[in-house]
Amino acid sequence: MSIKTFDQMAAAGEFPLIGFNAAGLGNNPYVDAITTASLDTHYRTIAPRGHQPDYIKSYAGGLNGKPFAARLPFAGERIAILDGAGGFSLRQGYVEEIRKAIRHVHSWGGYCLLDMHNYARWYVRASGPVAGRTVQSFGGGYALWTAIGAPDCPVDYPLLARIWTAIVQKFKDEPGVLGYGLMNEPHNAGTKADGGVNVEALWTANAQRLINAVRTEDSQHFITVAGNAFSTALHWPARSDALKNLTDPADRLLYEAHQYPDKEGGGGGKWTVASESVSYRDRVADWRPYVDWLKANGKRGIAGEFGGPDHVPGMRTYFTELHKYFDANHILRFQWLAGPGDDDDAPNGMDRNDGTLKPNTRSLMARIGNTTTAYGPR
């Protein structure tokens, strides 16, 4: 089985079109604000573990090295140890766990998009519940969710840029890296107070700073920039239009949108109505505002998250038609969610705890290994 490095894959014009989100490493980030999180106790990995199946083999075992992609969420709070004085160091043990995951995915022919799964926020230790704020409790301690750049958050965007530079230094030479997802799903909190700042405005104003930070170390790999309002594809032109002014000297910038079909496209994948049916034409159309925006502005993009349970009426047709739409536009897509940690009946889960695939992977598995010479739309 011959597996290319990223540079070889790019030179051959064989960019993967099919991928999935690989669970585990980003789980329960609030724990790190209270204590040091531990692998297998507080979070998981898709790298080989003696007590769990090889989930990557379940997807790629029959590909004979053909390329695919895995979006690999990780927790900023876990990788960066803050010193309280504006500095930080990287947690080496966690860095190596990420590296093992990258190398395992690549051993089957895959390339990882490293996704800081932080929602433009950072958990910090708190003394107790805070009225009107998101606070998690664990082991007798509390963690307050703060907005990056807010007065009560220890991380601002200049510091985040330095953290990203350090992360890129660690992983840029890994042959199985596809790129860097700068931030997952920036969004304003609505009824939840956010430290007196507009999270989406801060993200829009500072995304270029993070691009520049990555490019000081790496001019080869892709960078993905997530849209506002949880990266919604449906409302992209209204909430994320200002991101069109971003520039990348390496010309490998990809925008990232997410969209789930539950609650008529407004449910975010929660599937709180178990008996809900899906109008597949309408739900595929939810992606068009984003893709049309990319076309109108001469940009390229990916579908960072989509998914749902196979048993929902209309879902199988939705998956089939959505993949056809992405295929026609050369859009790299990542279904949510593969790997360890979820119950077998989790609505968006793609596999079971024994490693077998669920029916909602049919359309993806029919295409995994497909490539394009360049990402679109085009």
260 in a domain, yes or no? yes
68 in a domain, yes or no? yes
Domain that holds residue 70: 6-372
1 in a domain, yes or no? no
Q: How far is the C-alpha of 236 from the C-alpha of 328, rounded, in Å?
A: 20
234 in a domain, yes or no? yes
CATH number at residue 309: 3.20.20.80
> What string of pLDDT tens digits covers the 378 residues of the chain?
799 999 999 999 999 999 999 999 999 999 999 999 999 999 999 999 999 999 999 999 999 999 999 999 999 999 999 999 999 999 999 999 999 999 999 999 999 999 999 999 999 999 999 999 999 999 999 999 999 999 999 999 999 999 999 999 999 999 999 999 999 999 999 777 788 999 999 999 999 999 999 999 999 999 999 999 999 999 999 999 999 999 999 999 999 999 999 999 999 999 988 889 999 999 999 999 999 999 999 999 999 999 999 999 999 999 999 999 999 999 999 999 999 999 999 999 999 999 999 999 999 999 999 999 999 998
378 in a domain, yes or no? no
Which pLDDT value is given to residue 60? 98
Q: Is 178 helix (H, G, I), strand (E, B) or coil?
A: strand
Residue 8 CB partners (closer than 8 Å, separation 6+): none
Look up tokens 């997807």; give the residue.
Answer: 59
Residue type, 296: A
| Range 288-323 burial, b when 16+ CB lie within 10 A, else e | ebbbebbbeeebbbbbbbbbbbeebebbbbbbebbb
Which pLDDT value is given to residue 157? 99
Number of domains in the chain: 1
24 in a domain, yes or no? yes
Which pLDDT value is given to residue 274? 81
346 in a domain, yes or no? yes
Which pLDDT value is given to residue 232? 98
